[in-house]
């Protein structure tokens, strides 16, 4: 079964500091995408960053980057120069598998609080 | 601009009532999904549809029903059989092709409260 685990239910970071959110997953597929979604207090789900599994290079989007370790099945999100607007729930997700099309499996989420 | 529209934003249900949550997309996506989110929790899949006139139960389908008569629309009915319906409901859509690099597009959600 495809599973996604986020082991940190809550985290906090000081404004302007760097924080890393962890995500591990289990799959038997070889090529897939991995995603991080952000859910701020408005509860609108926003795509933060995506990584294609067969690409060696870690994805980067401005202050957000990933550390993708395919062999270890680890996909952590690093937020640099944290801002108050980064306060949100963060969800890691990846597709369930070839027979399920593009249906995503989500982790349980990490609540991030950025403190002034 | 293309997107997903969920309505209403807030919905109140009396005990024993059925209520329907609307989800409409103009992204030409084949696949659509309904998720339930309880406070501080992750997303749990209620129903999904990968093509018009076909849908499948997710992990927590009991007490819910859906239809997919049009590609653009995937309404969710919360029936009186759902004993604890108070939650936040999210609709999403995607292209169905694996490995699907676009991920999901989400609606803005409906907060349902039993009164």
- Mutation choice for B interface testing from A102, A105, A106, A109 by most B CBs within 10 A: A102
B42, B48, B101 ranked by CB distance to A50: nearest: B101
Average of per-residue pLDDT values in chain B = 92
All residues of chain A having their beta carbon less than 8 Å from the beta carbon of residue B101 are: 33, 50, 52
Residue B69 has pLDDT above 70, yes or no: yes
Q: Which parts of B3-109 are beta strand (E)? A: 4-7, 10-13, 19-25, 31-37, 43-51, 54-57, 64-66, 76-78, 87-94, 105-106
Min Cα–Cα distance to chain B from A95, Å = 7
In chain B the first and final C-alpha atoms are separated, in Å, by: 36
d(CA A48, CA B105): 12
Residue of chain B with shortest Cα separation from A108: B42
Two structure tokens written together for B28: 């030409």
Query: Which one is predicted more confidently, B112 or B39?
Result: B112
Q: Which residues pair with A94 in a beta bridge?
A: A105
The whole-number pLDDT of residue A55 equals: 85
Asked if A70 reaches chain B (Cβ–Cβ under 8 Å), the answer is no
Which residues contact residue B23 at a Cβ distance below 8 angstroms, ignoring those fewer than 6 apart?
A: B4, B5, B6, B32, B34, B73, B74, B75, B76, B91, B107
The whole-number pLDDT of residue A98 equals: 60
Asked if A11 reaches chain B (Cβ–Cβ under 8 Å), the answer is no
Residue B103 has pLDDT above 90, yes or no: no
Q: What is the pLDDT along chain A (116 residues), one digit of tens a residue?
A: 668 999 999 999 999 999 999 999 988 777 888 999 999 999 999 999 999 888 889 999 999 999 999 999 999 999 999 999 999 999 999 887 666 667 888 999 999 999 99
All residues of chain B having their beta carbon less than 8 Å from the beta carbon of residue A45 are: 90, 92, 104, 106
The whole-number pLDDT of residue B43 equals: 93
The whole-number pLDDT of residue A106 equals: 92
Q: Which residues pair with B110 in a beta bridge?
A: B89
All residues of chain B having their beta carbon less than 8 Å from the beta carbon of residue A52 are: 99, 101
**Which is it for strands A19-21 and A110-115: parallel, antiparallel or unpaired?**
unpaired
Size of interface A-B (CB pairs under 8 A): 73
CB burial of residue B63 (10 Å; 0-12, 13-18, 19+): middle
The answer to whether B99 contacts A31, with C-beta atoms less than 8 Å apart, is yes
Two structure tokens written together for B87: 């939650």
């Amino acid at each position: 079964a495809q599973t996604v685990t986020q082991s940190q239910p809550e985290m906090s970071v000081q404004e302007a500091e760097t924080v890393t959110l962890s995500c591990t997953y289990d799959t038997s597929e070889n090529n897939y995408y991995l995603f991080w979604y952000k859910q701020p207090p408005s509860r609108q789900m926003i795509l933060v960053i995506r990584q294609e599994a067969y690409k060696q290079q870690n994805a980067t989007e401005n202050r957000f980057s990933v550390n993708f370790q395919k062999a270890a099945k680890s996909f952590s999100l690093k937020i640099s120069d944290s801002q108050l607007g980064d306060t949100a729930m963060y969800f890691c997700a990846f597709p369930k598998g070839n027979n399920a099309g593009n249906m995503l499996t989500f982790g349980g989420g990490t609540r991030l609080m950025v403190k002034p | 601009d293309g997107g997903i529209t969920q309505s209403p934003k807030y919905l109140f249900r009396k005990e024993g009532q059925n209520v329907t949550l609307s989800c409409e997309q103009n992204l030409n996506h084949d696949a659509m999904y309904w998720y339930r989110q309880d406070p501080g929790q992750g997303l749990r899949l209620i129903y999904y549809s990968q093509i018009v006139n076909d849908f499948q139960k997710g992990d927590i389908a009991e007490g819910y029903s859906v239809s997919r008569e049009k590609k653009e629309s995937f309404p969710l009915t919360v029936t009186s059989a759902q004993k604890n319906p108070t939650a936040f409901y999210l609709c999403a859509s995607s292209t169905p092709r694996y490995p699907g690099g676009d991920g999901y597009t989400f609606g803005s959600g409906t907060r349902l409260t039993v009164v």
